[in-house]
Amino acid sequence: MSFYNIVASTDEATVVAEYTAEYRVRSEKYQSEAELEREFIRQLTSQGYEYLEIHNEKALIENLRKQLEVLNDFTFTDNEWERFFTECLANTNEGIVEKTRKIQEDHIQILKRDDGSTKNIYLLDKKNIHNNRLQVINQYEEAGGKHETRYDVTILVNGLPLVHVELTRRGVEIRQAFI
């Protein structure tokens, strides 16, 4: 079946594009979750995501610091980083709603520097999105909590873990991913 989409239309002419759908038979070949994960990461890296071998919180925090320093063209002192991280990024008094608001609406945080001055620190560059750095990690184990949590694939934006992806192989009900 052919579809015609209008690309441009004026009083003098109309430009259309034709698209013919190709129907492929769904593969019945067995694909393990590990193969599915590798393929997903391969697709992301082919689109410009940087793959990192990060599996623990310490390495994740070190990468976050490095990415924010690159984005802001600024180097934190150890005291400034500790204060910024604990007060702005990992504040124990903030829940998911406050952290979501911070990313969506309040993405510029104020750092109180060691010398008493202040500096704006961007978590995301919303004016020029190409300044943001995209990274992907897999099999990250979250420490603490009531249950051991291991994320199949995590997407980082400027070092911030913003998307966790749980993959499951074909034929497995989606609810199995959450058990």
* pLDDT tens per residue across all 179 residues of the chain: 456 677 777 877 777 777 666 776 666 667 778 888 899 999 999 999 999 999 889 999 999 999 999 999 999 999 999 999 999 999 999 999 999 999 999 999 999 999 999 999 999 999 999 999 999 999 887 766 565 677 789 999 999 999 988 887 666 666 665 55
Neighbour-count burial for 118-157, b at 16+ CB within 10 Å, e otherwise: eeebbbbbeeeeeebbebbbbebebeeeeeeeebbbbbbb
Look at the chain and report how many structural domains it folds into.
Answer: 1
**What whole-number distance in Å separates Cα of residue 90 and Cα of residue 108?**
15
Coil, strand or helix at 56: coil
The domain of 113 spans: 33-178
4 falls within a domain: no
19 part of a folded domain: no
Any domain includes 156? yes
| Alpha-carbon span 48 to 26, nearest angstrom | 28
User: Which residues lie below 8 Å from residue 107, measured CB to CB, with a gap of 6+?
Assistant: 122, 123, 124, 126
pTM of the full predicted structure? 0.75
63 exposed, middle or buried (CB, 10 Å; 0-12, 13-18, 19+)?
buried
Residue 98: inside a domain: yes
The CATH number of the domain where 157 resides is what?
3.90.640.50
Query: Considering the domain boundaries, does residue 77 fall inside one?
Result: yes
Among residues 54, 38, 34, 58, the alpha carbon closest in space to that of 46 is found at 38
**Within-domain flag for 96:** yes
Q: Does 116 map to a domain?
A: yes
Query: Within a domain: residue 83?
Result: yes
